[in-house]
Chains A and B, each alone.
Chain A
Amino acid sequence: MASFSQFGNDLHTGKRSFDIVGLRRRWYLIAGILILIAVIGPLLRGGFTFGIEFTGGSEFVVSDVADQQQGKATDAVQSVVPDVVPKISTVSNTGVRVQTDQLTGEENTQVRNALAAAYDVPVSKVTSSFIGPSWGKDITGQALRGLITFLVLAAVVMALYFRTWKMSLAAMVALVHDLIITAGFYGITGFEITPAAVIGFLTILGYSLYDTVVVFDKIRENTHEDESSSSRTFPASVNLAVNQTLVRSINTSVVAALPVASILFIGAFVLGAGTLRDISLALLIGILVGTYSTIFIAAPLYAHLREGEPAISKHDKRVLAARSKAAAQADEVTV
C-alpha cells in the first residue's frame, strides 16, 4: 500500500499525471460507442423486459390448501412456463396466491391444473384472473415529473454554486450517459425491470451527480485560485484537479461498490433471480459507470466547453508563451 500512497503523492504534486483532459477525443469516442451499444443492443434483443408490476399479469388463487408450502407453486408454474419467476404469497391460513406474467389461455388452463395437482385440491378450487399493474401510469408519471423537476433544480443549484452553467451542462451529460448505459445493460442481459430496479436507477442518478460535484469542486478550486496568475493552461488545471482527486475517486468507488457487489453475488448466485439481484445490478453498474463518467466525460467536456472563452484562451496563450520563454531562460541559467 506504500506504493499506493506514493501514487497519491505523485498525483497530488503533478509529478505523475494522466492526461485525461487532453485525450478527450478518445473518451468521447468510447462513450459514443458504449451509448450506441446500449441503445442498439436492447433493440436487437426485442426491447426491455418489464416485470408484472408494470405490465400486469395473471393471478391464481388456490383455496382450501392443507400445506401452504410456496415451493410447490413455483415448481407447478415452471413446469408449464419454465422462464417465469412467480410471485407467491400465502393468503390467510388456507390459500396460496400466485402471480405470474400474462399467460396465454392455454397456459392458463395448464397452470391451473398443475397448481391443483401440486396442492392436491380439485381444479375448481383454483381461480384465475387478470391483474392490472400495481406500478401504474400514475406512479410513472409522478416519478418522471419529480425527476424532471429535480434535474432542473439540480442544474440551477450547481450553476449558482459553481458560478457557471457549463459545469451543470457537463454534469448532466455525464448523468445521461450513466443512465443510458445502465438501462442498456438491463436491455442486453434481459434482466427484468422491476420497481426495485427503478429505485436502483434513481439511486444511481443521485450517486452520479454527487460524484461529479465532488470532483468539480476541486476543479473549481484549482481553476479559480489561479484564474489569471496561473502558470497552467485551463485544460491543464482541470487535468490536475482530476488527477488530484483520483485517489479519492478510486477509494470511494471501491468502498461503495464492495457492499453492492457482495449483495449482487449472494443475490445472483445463492438466491437466484429476485429483488436483490435486480437492484444490486443496477447499483453496481451505476456506481462504476458514475465514477468513470465524472473523470472521463464530465471533466474533459467542461474543459472543452470553456477553453473557447476569450478570457481563458487569451490566458492559455500567454501561459504557453511565458512557459517557452522560461524554458529558454532556464536553459541559459542551468548551463
Chain B
Amino acid sequence: MAKLSPVKKAWRSLTWLAVIIVGLIALNTAGVLTGGGSWAPKLALDLEGGTQIILAPKLESGKTVSQEQLNQAVSIIRQRIDSSGVSEAEINTQGGQNIVVSIPGTPDDETLNRIKSSAKLEFRPVLLAGQPSAASVGADGKTTPAPSATPDPNLRSTPTVSPTNASDLNYVTPALQAKYDSFDCSTINNTSNVAPADEPLVTCETDGSVKYLLGPVEVSGEHITDATNGQRQTQTGASTGEWVVNIVFDQTGAKSFATVTTRLSGLQGVQNQFAIVLDGEVISAPRTLAVITDGKPEISGNFTQESSKVLADQLKFGALPISFTVQSQDTISATLGSTQLVNGLIAGLIGLILVVIYSLLQYRLLGLVTIASLAVAAVITYLLITVLSWREGYRLSLAGVAGLIVAIGITADSFIVYFERVRDELRDGRGLESSVEAGWKRALRTILASDTVNFLAAAVLFIVAVGNVKGFALTLGLTTIVDVAVVALFTHPMLQLLAHVRFFSEGHRFSGLDPRALGAAYRGRARFRPSDAITPAKAASVSREAAKRQTIAERKAAELASTSASSSSTSSEGKDS
C-alpha cells in the first residue's frame, strides 16, 4: 500500500485549493468577457436601489378587485420572481388596489412579462382556421379591405342545433362566422380578446400567422400540477434541440385530456388540431396524432430556452386571478444608502482586526494560520458570490453582509476546534507531527457533523422559503461549504507543513504549540511525558484513573516513535526494533 507522507498530502491538498481558486477566477473572467459578469458582486435593492413598477389591475368598468385576489396575485408574482433567481424583490399592495414590485436593476421585457402577464392557459379544439387578415387577397396581388369590419348585428348568434361536444361545428353560428371572417390578426388586442370558458373564441396565433375559431375550453391551466421546460425528446431519447414546456395534469385534467384527444384523433382536417391558448392567443395548435392518457402533454411553439422557462414557471405557479398593466416604472434609490454599507464594512473590518489580535494572543504564531485561513475563505466566498450574482442573479443585501460577517465566527470555530484538538494530543504527550494527524482525524468528524446541521438548515430554507429568507439561506449554505473546503484544503495542510518547520516542531515559546506551556513534561528530544502530574493528596482518590492514563500515554508514545521512524526521514531518533 503506497501511503503518501503528510507533506506530500499537504501539497496535494494545497494544489487542489489553488485549482479551485484559479477555476473560479477563470469562470468569472469568462463571465466578464462574455458580458453579464463583473468583478464586484451585484447589490440588492436596499443598498443599490432599482426599479419600482406599479401594476394596476385591468378591470372591466364597474368591477373592483378584492383584497383576497390582490394577496393571491402578490404571492404568485413573488414565486415567479423568485424562480428567476435570488434577487430579493420587494412586493406589496398599495392603496388596496395596485401592486408595487421593486426589483434591483432595470427589468427587460422578459422580466416584465414574467411579472405581469396573467398566464391563463386553455386547451380548445380548433373549429376553423384560415388567413390571418380580414382582407381578401385579390388575383392581382392587391389586397382589398373586407367590405365590413363590424358584423351585422342581426345575424343569428345562437346555434339552431345544440352542439354535442366542443368540436361540434354547430357552434359556428352565422354571427360567429361573420366575426371570424372580419377578424384581423394585426389589430388583435389580447387584453380584451377573451371569451367565457363555455363559449367559442376567435383569435390568432401569437405571431399573427393564422386565425382561428376555437371551440369551448376543454381543459384549463388550473389542473396543472407541474410544468418544466426542456428540449424535445424523440422516441429514441435523442434531443431535437427544440424547446418545449412539459406539463403534468392532475387526475381530473388527465382524464378530460384523454377524452378530448380520443375524440380529436378521429376527426379530419383542422378539427384534428388542438389549440393551446395563453392569455387569449394561440401559442400552438398541434395535430392530435395519438391519444394522450397519462396527462403529460408537451407544448411547443417557437420557444427559446428563456421563454420556455418563463412559461413553465408561470404555469407552475398558476394564473394570476386578474391581469395587470404597468402603470408606472421608475428608478428608485437605495433605502439604506451607501453610508450604511460603508459603516457596516468599517465595523466588520474593526471586528476582524479584533479577531486577529485575539487569535494572536491565544494561539501565538499559530494565529497567523487562522488569519491566513480566514483570508483564503474570504477570497473564495467573494469569488463565489460574484459568480452567483452573474449566474443566478444573487444580490447582496445588508442582511447578507451581516450574515457573512457572522460566518467569520463559524469559520474560525473550525480552526479553533482543530487547534484545541491538536493541543489535546500534545498534552497527551504526542509529538507535533502525529498530534496534527490525530487531532485532524477527530476534529474533522466534529467539523463535518456540525457543518452538516448548518448546511441542512440552508438547504431546507432555500428550497421551502421565499423572498429574503431564500437569500439568507444561500449565504449560509455558501459559507458552510467554504468553511469545510478551507479547513480541509488549507488549514490542515498548512499545519502538516508547519509541523516540519523547526520553529513549530520544537515547540517554540511563541509557536502556540509549546508542549511545556501545554503541560506536557519534557522527556528528551521531541518526546514529552504527559502532564498528568497529580498531587499525592488527590492521587488516592483517582489512583485507578491515573494508572489508566499513564498506560494510554505510554502506548501513544510508542505509537509516536514508530510513526516517526517510518514516515519521517528527518528524525534521527527512530527506534530500530
Contacts and interface: CB of A to CB of B under 8 A. Distances in A.
How big is chain B's contact interface, by range?
Answer: 35 or more
A69 to B, nearest CB: 12
B354 to A, nearest CB: 4
Contacts of B463: 146
A256 B90 contact: no
A84 interface: no
A255 B95 contact: no
Most buried by B among A13, A145, A157, A256: A256
B461 A202 contact: yes
Nearest to A130: B95
A155 to B, nearest CB: 10
Interface stretch (A176-184, A204-212, A308-316): A204-212
B406 A283 contact: yes
B544 A231 contact: yes
Contacts of B332: 89-91, 97
B402 A262 contact: no
Nearest to A323: B541
B416 A255 contact: yes
Contacts of A146: 460-461, 463-465, 469
A251 B416 contact: yes
Most buried by A among B398, B454, B456: B456
A59 interface: yes
A77 interface: no
Nearest to B420: A248
Interface string A40-71: 00000000000000001001000000000010
Majority secondary structure of chain B interface residues (helix, strand, loop or mixed): helix
Nearest to B363: A251
B344 A138 contact: no
A195 to B, nearest CB: 5
Interface string A202-239: 11011101110110011001000000000110000000
A262 B518 contact: no
Interface stretch (B70-78, B147-155, B230-238, B485-493): B70-78
Contacts of B94: 59, 129-132
Most buried by A among B75, B78, B92, B463: B92
Interface stretch (A31-39, A108-116, A271-279, A299-307): A271-279
A259 interface: yes
Interface stretch (B284-292, B345-353, B377-385, B500-508): B345-353
Nearest to B101: A134
B517 A142 contact: no
A155 B58 CA distance: 49
A166 interface: no
Contacts of B451: 210
Contacts of A276: 340, 343-344, 347, 398, 402
A149 B460 CA distance: 7
Given A12-B427, A131-B94, A132-B93, A142 B416 contact: no
Contact of B413 (A90, A136, A145, A252): A252
B548 to A, nearest CB: 7
Interface in B502-535: 517-519, 531-532, 534
Interface string B323-367: 000000011111111011001101110111011001101100000
Given A1-B361, A139-B466, A271-B339, A134 B406 contact: no
A59 B52 CA distance: 14
Contacts of A89: 49, 332-335
A207 B465 CA distance: 19
Contact of A327 (B95, B519, B541): B541
B461 A275 contact: no
Nearest to B352: A259
A177 to B, nearest CB: 17
A147 B442 CA distance: 30
A266 B346 contact: yes
B18 interface: no
Given A202-B461, A218-B446, A275-B336, A256 B75 contact: no
Contacts of B352: 259
B543 A154 contact: no
B335 A88 contact: yes
A138 B406 contact: no
Contact of A265 (B46, B347, B449, B468): B347
B461 A252 contact: no
A204 B221 CA distance: 42
A261 B450 contact: no
A262 B348 contact: yes
A247 B423 CA distance: 11
B540 interface: yes
Given A259-B355, A263-B347, A150 B456 contact: yes
Interface string A121-141: 000000001111111111100
B456 A283 contact: no
Contacts of B358: 251, 254-255, 258
Contacts of A331: 540
Contacts of B458: 206
Given A203-B476, A261-B351, A214 B446 contact: yes
Contacts of A8: 420, 423, 518
A2 interface: yes
Contacts of A131: 92-95, 100
B159 interface: no
7 contacts: A8-B420, A56-B93, A258-B351, A259-B409, A262-B347, A262-B348, A276-B347
Given A88-B335, A136-B71, A138-B78, 11 more contacts: A15-B534, A89-B333, A129-B94, A132-B74, A133-B92, A146-B461, A149-B464, A213-B449, A231-B544, A255-B359, A266-B350
Closest 6 CB pairs of A and B: A256-B409, A259-B351, A132-B93, A146-B464, A9-B519, A262-B351
Interface of A: 1-2, 4-6, 8-10, 12-13, 15, 56, 59, 70, 87-92, 95, 97, 129-139, 142-143, 145-147, 149-150, 153-154, 157-158, 161, 195-196, 198-200, 202-203, 205-207, 209-211, 213-214, 217-218, 221, 231-232, 244-245, 247-248, 251-263, 265-267, 270-271, 274-276, 279-280, 283, 287, 322-323, 326-327, 330-331, 334
